[in-house]
Structure 1
């Protein structure tokens, strides 16, 4: 089987699709991963065939790294030209024969590309987006609502996509030769096949979802045998397990202030720390013997060696910390992050989310309270680590 896997976004969006490609390849199939060009080395390292897509959106994020939210909003104004270039690269994928398309909805073009190729489209979702339920609200709905309104919140996914529909319609007609009119992504996904790539131990399928929508488990890459960076290994060997603090691709209005708060908070808690600056929420600062500052760190290797993971609540980091079996402290910023922060707290593996103004004392108290949650985190981690979400997804795709 020839599978075209289409992923757009940050590494947290792309890496699960790479894991699926590795699983398909191991099962004797021929996957082609299409993703932003900067991820070509990741695919090459795993022996996966790769097609590069325009990565201007990621380059834009790089240019405003560490400059705060206002700079990010200002730089994002020329979004439509970047989207047109991204879709143009997707149109070129129609030259590659395929038996199905597995797509991340952020790419926008997956269902149209499958239509052009005459093959099924399967949505690969890293969080619930398009199948409504009254059991919980849409993870991307920006405010909390009474349970009675949960189902209504699922309309937000269609609203997020709406500003780009005109661009997609013109692309369908001009680049793919298809009728310009098409149903919204929310309708296309709900009417087709979907793979939910998270652990049922984290969030089981609610009543009312079809059996085909049951979550497969996280799509995780096989272990990497490369040694960790030597300074990181040396730091870990130099004392008690530290806490990890990193906010991924989130942006902070005042990175310097947040960095000061984090450093003071972990020290008030009496902990050493690995501080990952990421894409702009934190700034590189003088560490000291008790703090190691890095740009990023290998989560799969590092997290089992820390006492707790302090992060933004992105589902990729949630997954890595779950598998490691360590408690999590969540400072959510936007999107689905508050949803996961509240949910992990309900599961008993994270303190209450650190919403609102973050102070050193609040952070220190959360880190200290996380210690009592370690047994529950370890027990849940063992169940999650026993899953093979990639194998489950491959079985569904090839059934």
Structure 2
């Protein structure tokens, strides 16, 4: 089978698709991964065939870091031309062979590339989007609603896509030369095959979901065998009690210096050592004491099992890694689906209450202390998670789909 996997976004959007590609290759298939250009070394380093897509949107996001509202507004004006160039890169994928297309909804063009190729289009969902339920509101809804409005709240997903719908329609006709029959992405995802890439232990399928949408388990990379930590990180971990990990991934707040100061004071109040992962710049540590170490990043699967508490932004990839590591969590969500995952972790008993709104040292220290009490529950859930293999389940689903009659 020749699966084409299309994803865009940050590393949290790309790495699960790379994990799926590795699982497909291990099963004897010949996957190709199409993703933003900057992730080519990551994919080819694992021996996965890679097609680079425009990463202008990521570069614009990088350039706007810390530049204030004016830069953000200017960047927003340039989004549509950047998206069109990204879609043109995706259109070129239809020139190659494929038996099935697995696409991230952020790609916008994935199902239409599959339409041009005449093969099944499967939405690879890293969070429950486009699948309405009365059990909980849309994960990207920025405010709470009464339970009676849960199902109606899912219309927000379609509304987010709506500003680009005309552009996608024109691109489908011009670049792919597909005439008539245009259907919005939201409708295609809701009605078509999906692979739900999260653990049912964290978010089971609601009773009103179709069987095809039931979660298969997280798509996780193989353990980083052979990864050697920097000497200073290895030495720091060996010289004292397991530290608190603090890292906010690609999330960037309005005032990194204030956030960093609050984090450092919280760690001191909690009487803990800490490893700070600066990531995309949410944390900007200056001079640090002997009880805090700053790094840019380290493989979560290597580092998180060695810490006492993980403080993070609530991105799905970090959530999965912390769950597998059996480490209790504190989530300071920034945007998007992060508040949703923070709430799910708290309900599962493996994270303290989400630290939403303004983060203060006292609030974070209290959350770290509360999370420390949840260590037994976190270890127990990790033991249950170890029996899941979301990649293998997705590979089996794709194989069956490709073999079924059209």
Q: Do these two structures clear the TM 0.5 threshold for a shared fold by scoring above it?
A: yes
Q: Normalising by the residue count of structure 1, what TM-score does the alignment of the two structures yield?
A: 0.97
Aligned residues: 399
1:396 matched to which residue of 2?
397
Structure-2-length-normalised TM-score: 0.96
Q: Counterparts in 2 of 1:255-270, with a 5 A limit?
A: 255-270=256-271
1:262–1:363: 8 Å Cα contact kept in structure 2?
A: yes
Measured against aligned partners, the alpha-carbon deviations of 1:48-106 in whole angstroms (never above 9, x if no partner) come to 10000000111112223344566444433210111011011101101111011000000
Shift of 1:302: 0.3
Which structure 1 segments of 5+ residues have no match? Answer: none
Task: Specify the SS of the correspondent of 2:31.
Answer: strand
Q: Is residue 2:234 matched to residue 1:229?
A: no
Contact 2:196 2:216 in 1 (8 A): yes
2:342 equivalent to 1:364: no
Paired residue secondary structure (2:195): strand
Displacement of 1:181 in angstroms is 5.6
For structure 2, the residue ranges without an aligned partner over 5 or more in a row are 401-406
State the Cα RMSD in Å.
Answer: 1.2
Residue 227 to residue 69, structure 1, CA distance change in 2 (3 Å): farther
- Cα distance in 2 for residues equivalent to 1:69 and 1:378: 42
CA distance in 2, matches of 1:126, 1:393: 12
Q: Deviations along 1:152-200, whole A, 9 cap, x unmatched?
A: 1111110010111111111111110012662221110111100000001
- Residues 1-399 of structure 1: pairs in structure 2 closer than 5 A: 1-67=1-67, 71-179=71-179, 182-225=182-225, 226-399=227-400
C-alpha contact (below 8 Å) 1:68/1:255 kept by paired residues: no
**Stretch of structure 1 that moved more, 149-158 or 69-78:** 69-78
The answer to whether the 8 Å contact 1:235/1:292 transfers is: yes
Question: For each residue in 1:110-163, what CA deviation from the matched residue of structure 2 results, as whole angstroms up to 9, or x when unmatched?
Answer: 010000000010000000001111111110111111111110111111001011
Q: d(CA) in 1 for partners of 2:201 and 2:163?
A: 35
- Change beyond 3 A, Cα 1:377–1:67: farther
CA distance in 2: counterparts of 1:68 and 1:270, whole angstroms: 34
Separation in 2, partners of 1:324, 1:294: 19
- The residue matched to 1:313 in structure 2 has which SS? coil
TM-aligned CA distance change 1:138 to 1:4, over 3 Å: same
| Offset at residue 43 of structure 1 (A) | 0.9
Q: Give the conservation status (yes or no) of the 8 Å contact 1:246–1:277.
A: yes
